[in-house]
Amino acid sequence: MLDDAYDWVVNDIQQNFYPYLEKNRISELTNRDARIFEVFFHERRRQLAALSSPSMYFEIMGRIENWTVSQIHTIELGRKIKADVFLAAILTELSKVYENLKSPLDAIEVKNVSPKEKIKAHVVLQGVLKFEDIEHLASAIQFQFENNIWVIFVTFDEKHILAHKDRLLEVCALHCCKPDYAKDYARDLTREKPPIQYYQDISPRTVDQEKFLQTTIQTLGIAKNVPPQQSPTTPTSNQH
Domain contains 237: no
Are residues 190 and 123 located together in one domain of the fold?
Answer: yes
Residue 192 is classified by DSSP as S
Domain contains 61: yes
Q: What domain range is 149 assigned to? A: 117-220
Choose the final residue of a domain: 50, 74, 106: 106
Which pTM was predicted? Answer: 0.62
Average pLDDT by consecutive 10-residue portion of the chain (240 residues)? Answer: 91 95 92 92 93 87 94 94 94 92 68 89 95 94 94 90 96 92 90 92 93 91 53 35
| Residues 53/55/59/65 CA torsion (nearest 10 deg) | 40
Are residues 78 and 134 located together in one domain of the fold?
Answer: no
What is the count of structural domains for the chain? 2
Alpha-carbon distances, residue 234 vs 123, 188, 204, 227, 239 (angstroms)? 19, 28, 10, 18, 11
Are residues 92 and 131 located together in one domain of the fold?
Answer: no
Are residues 124 and 161 located together in one domain of the fold?
Answer: yes
Are residues 157 and 197 located together in one domain of the fold?
Answer: yes
Are residues 91 and 167 located together in one domain of the fold?
Answer: no
